[in-house]
Amino acid sequence: MRFLRLLTNNRFWPLFMKELRQIKRNRKLVVMLVMPPTVNLVLLGFAMNSEVKNVMLGVVDYSRTAESRELVSAFVESGSFQVAETFESTEELGRSLSAGNLDAGVVVPQDYARLRARGQTAEVQILADGVDSNRAGIAAGYAARVVGALNERLGRPGVAARTPGGKSVGLVEPRVAVLYNPGLRTSWFIVTGTIGLLMVMIGSLVASASMVNEKESGTIEQLLMTPAGSTEIIAAKVAPIMLLLSGDILVAVGVVRLVFEVPVRGSLVLLYFAGMLCVLAGIGIGTFIATFTRSQTQAQLMSFFVNPPVSMLSGATTPIEGMPYWLQQVSYLNPLRHFSTIARGVLLKGVGLEVLYPNLLALTAFTLVIVGASVWRFRKQLS
């Protein structure tokens, strides 16, 4: 009843219309209220896709016969697998799996055709990258169904088939091995990606809040009155944030090791250096946001526009392979994607700089660009 009386009050509507006119005149606020939810909703629909398709498959065919080519064709014809590359040895296949270029691999033994011709069962090795446990489990299931469908074409399951000439043909048995995460623990995939996500989010929020607070309190003018130059002012504000967040990297690694039992198979020095670049990228994003805003509220709204897309297009919590192809290409511009690859490579796969150097170089380049742009914008405002 009180609400109804409020709506019928003659003094309410003039105030209501006045607020609407004020919001309408504030175009920046209107854009912030409309654009972030729209863009994030679209990206969320594309990025948060748990469907497993286009599994990148590597093939080692020691048999090199018509029968082995028939098996590989069965994988492609299923529509779930895409042969990315063929290899001469399992060592080459293993290196490609370690580098994250493949989701799975199939190894056809040399005696594959001979065993089938004798009516015996031929075993085929299926290797799945278990870093993303959900994708690995589904890919292994797909592989088993592909082999099962091939056996059904050859004859009844478990019974040797016969060719039109009456000759007995052996069936195929898949042997699935999950690499890097044999227990298929989903938490290992999520927490290794969340480390970088937290570093970027916290770095951007703290940096933007610190910079905007200087504007709101008016102390930025006092800093300009000191003998220090603009570069020294910016460096002095960024350095303490980096120092504090550098400790968070070690805390995060300790938590995932003790609580979730994530192994540490590679170099912690490499992971720490990549984490510092990730922190610096987050600080750069926060500083860049601060140059476009004048209050804490505006900074928070702008962060809501920037941080969710950075998170969703990083592969930190959801596999990038489930996204549309054009979004997968866009994600290469995301420094968080490269840190997630480095973190999982170091912690779960135990690979080093010889494999991860492209991601480290990309992370370094994007960090320098982001920090450079934010410093340029901030110095421009100071001048």
Report how far residue 107's alpha carbon sits from residue 102's, in angstroms, rounded to the nearest whole number. Answer: 14
Q: Are 162 and 214 found together in one domain?
A: no
User: Which among 181, 206, 182, 176 is positioned nearest to 192, based on CA atoms?
Assistant: 181
Residue 68 belongs to a domain with what CATH number? 3.40.1710.10
Average predicted confidence (pLDDT) for the chain: 80
Confidence of residue 227 (pLDDT cuts 50, 70, 90): low
Q: Which of 45-59, 285-299, 326-340 has the highest mean pLDDT?
A: 326-340
Q: Are 308 and 323 found together in one domain?
A: yes
Which residue is it, tokens 């299923």? 78
Q: Are 212 and 336 found together in one domain?
A: yes
Answer with the one of 179, 208, 241 that is the final residue of a domain. Answer: 179
The reply to whether 207 falls in a domain is yes
Q: Are 193 and 231 found together in one domain?
A: yes
Q: Are 135 and 262 found together in one domain?
A: no
Check pLDDT > 90 for residue 365.
Answer: yes
Q: Are 173 and 195 found together in one domain?
A: no
Q: Are 242 and 305 found together in one domain?
A: yes
Contacts of 44-50 with CB under 8 Å at 24 or more apart are 44/308, 44/312, 46/323, 46/324, 46/327, 47/312, 47/313, 47/318, 47/322, 47/323, 47/327, 48/312, 48/318, 49/318, 49/322, 49/323, 50/134, 50/318, 50/322
The reply to whether 4 falls in a domain is no
Confidence of residue 331 (pLDDT cuts 50, 70, 90): confident
- Residue 235 belongs to what domain range? 186-382
The reply to whether 27 falls in a domain is no
Check pLDDT > 60 for residue 187.
Answer: yes
Q: Are 130 and 233 found together in one domain?
A: no
CB 288 within 8 A of CB 377: yes
Q: Are 215 and 162 found together in one domain?
A: no
Tens of pLDDT, residues 97-106: 888 888 899 9
Answer with the one of 179, 199, 216 that is the final residue of a domain. Answer: 179
pLDDT of residue 167: 47
Residues β-bridged to residue 56: 82
pLDDT of residue 228: 59
The reply to whether 110 falls in a domain is yes
What mean pLDDT comes out for the span 226-243? 71
pLDDT of residue 120: 84
The reply to whether 42 falls in a domain is no
Check pLDDT > 70 for residue 383.
Answer: no
Q: Are 261 and 378 found together in one domain?
A: yes
Answer with the one of 158, 179, 200 that is the final residue of a domain. Answer: 179
The reply to whether 23 falls in a domain is no
The reply to whether 302 falls in a domain is yes
pLDDT of residue 13: 61
pLDDT of residue 22: 67
pLDDT of residue 148: 86
Tens of pLDDT, residues 26-71: 666 566 566 655 665 555 555 555 566 678 899 999 999 998 898 9
Q: Are 240 and 361 found together in one domain?
A: yes
User: Which among 77, 179, 79 is positioned nearest to 125, based on CA atoms?
Assistant: 179
Cβ within 8 Å of residue 373, ≥6 positions away: 284, 288
Confidence of residue 290 (pLDDT cuts 50, 70, 90): confident
Number of domains the chain contains: 2
Tens of pLDDT, residues 109-168: 998 988 888 888 888 999 999 888 888 888 888 888 888 888 887 664 444 444 444 444
pLDDT of residue 243: 81
Check pLDDT > 80 for residue 371.
Answer: yes
Pick 297 or 184 by higher pLDDT.
184
Q: What is the pTM of this model?
A: 0.78
Report how far residue 230's alpha carbon sits from residue 52's, in angstroms, rounded to the nearest whole number. Answer: 50
Residue 203's SS3 state is helix
What mean pLDDT comes out for the span 196-202? 86
Q: What percent of the chain has a predicted confidence (pLDDT) above 70?
A: 77
Question: In this structure, which amino acid lies at residue 32?
Answer: M
Contacts of 359-363 with CB under 8 Å at 24 or more apart are 360/270, 360/273, 360/274, 362/332, 362/335, 362/338, 363/274, 363/277, 363/278, 363/281, 363/335, 363/338, 363/339
Query: Taken in order 333, 97, 121, 65, is the CA torsion positive or negative?
Result: positive
Q: Are 160 and 233 found together in one domain?
A: no
Check pLDDT > 90 for residue 338.
Answer: yes
What mean pLDDT comes out for the span 273-286? 90
The reply to whether 350 falls in a domain is yes
Confidence of residue 11 (pLDDT cuts 50, 70, 90): low
